[in-house]
Amino acid sequence: MKTYTLGIFALSIFLISCKSNVKEEKAANTDEANAIAKEESIKKPISDLKIIPISHATAVLEYKNNIIYIDPTGGKKAFENQKTPSIVLITDIHGDHMNIETLNSLDLSKSKIVVPQAVAEKLPANYTKQLVIINNGEIKEVNGISIEAIPMYNLREEALKFHNKGRGNGYVITLGEERLYFSGDTEDIPEMRALKNIDKAFVCMNLPYTMTVESAADAVLEFKPKEIYPYHYRGTDGFSDVVKFKEIVTKGNSEIEVVQLNWYSK
């Protein structure tokens, strides 16, 4: 009987010990999961930036109190659900970037309009007081936001007639801790390849006006943005192969995230 009692006691101690070990293991696993989640949240903080694709080269950026329109085209209807812009950026004089009808249809009464000289010369006089003229290589601060004008131009002999150097601007926009690059209409020029510390890059790829997906991917692999957004990829023969573009970039550098937004559904 004494032996039996001792056996029951030993078994109880064993079961309590097992239960305690299970609790400790669960607690350890929970702590580890919480630590991983915390680490992930540190790696990927919640961004104050919202990117809204409108069409082709046109986008809206929402960052805190600033609403930025990039190359607004498509008329008033394209922006009917968007907030009123505080800043408008225009890259070039062509209709898929500078569309006076669209500008006239929007409430730009409180907007700063950032443009290269060539665009300024073509805009109606009623916009003159709102213009911030910035040319290749210049950096200006608008509403507390740093905006740098990057050259955009063609390299191929047969495409030189489309975009000559010095006329239009690509832009690097600094929003908080993030640097965004919008290429405008360009090929894989040295100035693009020399870019540093770009978090989000929007790079064109359409023939015959800009460049092939191979050229775009090669440039991206050189300047290494954290994220690359293919945009402006409709050419005279339809859409460029953005799937192929992603394959080339991912194979060349898997750390560059290719983000595909919907630019052509509207």
What token pair was written down for 245?
């573009």
pLDDT in tens, the chain (266 residues): 444 444 444 445 544 454 455 444 444 444 443 443 344 333 445 568 999 999 999 999 999 989 999 999 999 999 999 999 999 999 999 989 999 999 999 999 999 999 999 999 999 999 999 999 999 999 999 999 999 999 999 998 887 788 899 999 999 999 999 999 999 999 999 999 999 999 999 999 999 999 999 999 999 999 999 999 999 999 888 999 999 999 999 999 999 999 999 999 85
For residue range 29-65, what is the model confidence (pLDDT) as tens digits?
444 434 433 443 334 455 689 999 999 999 999 999 8
**CB 195 within 8 Å of CB 172:** yes
Strands of the sheet with 168-175, listed across from one edge: 139-142, 145-152, 168-175, 178-182, 200-203, 227-230, 257-258
* Dist CA 28 CA 36 (whole Å): 12
- Give me the residue spans of the domains in the chain: 1-46, 47-258
Claim: this prediction has a pTM higher than 0.85: no
Position 206, amino acid: N
- Nearest Cα neighbor of 59 from 50, 48, 77, 72 is 72
**CATH of the domain spanning 47-258:** 3.60.15.10
Residue 155 CB neighbour total at 10 angstroms = 15
**CB 225 within 8 Å of CB 181:** yes
